Amino acid sequence: MIDLDTSAFIKLYILEAESESLQSLIATQDHPLPVWDILEAEFCNAMRLKVFWGELKEAQAAEQIEHYERRKSAGQYFTPDVSRPAVMTSFHALSRETSRLGCRTMDILHVAFALQITPQTFVTYDERQRGLAEHAGLRIWHGETA
């Protein structure tokens, strides 16, 4: 299973430099992608922030969110059953690295979630989150083609 943080997930909807290689990676698996409520919330808000920043029109953002909903309804995504207390236990342990790595709360939550679902590969384009994920023992995808 491949787990994407928000910096990667957005690249499935907004064409960016890394989008093509990420799409190639995703095409190598037959499983739906795990999406939990934090990722969904960040994705939807990121689309609306792109409107605020003038990168997207309101209709374009709404279209991408609708596209996400269609994919979710079609089974391309699933919500893993994770223990919230276990996620928080991992969060508290991982947050000890903040003074060294400069982790943000959402960085830590994404890595704590990934530790609960044990993906084969974790994808992030955020350097601080990558450092935390490597510290946690996750296998990180560095953008190599599939």
The pTM (predicted TM-score) of the whole model is 0.91
pLDDT at 104: 94
Residue-by-residue pLDDT tens, the chain, 146 positions:
999 999 999 999 999 989 999 999 999 988 899 999 999 999 999 999 999 999 999 999 999 999 999 999 999 999 999 999 999 999 999 999 999 999 999 999 999 999 999 999 999 999 999 999 999 999 999 875 43
CA separation for the pair 36, 33 (Å, rounded)? 10
Q: What is the 3 state secondary structure string of the chain?
A: CEEECHHHHHHHCCCCCCHHHHHHHHHCCCCCEECCHHHHHHHHHHHHHHHHCCCCCHHHHHHHHHHHHHHHHCCCEECCCCCHHHHHHHHHHHHHHHHHHCCCHHHHHHHHHHHHHCCCEEECCCHHHHHHHHHCCCCECCCCCC
pLDDT at 146: 38
* Architecture of the CATH domain 2-135: 3-Layer(aba) Sandwich (3.40)
pLDDT at 17: 87
In the chain, where the domains are located: 2-135
pLDDT at 144: 58
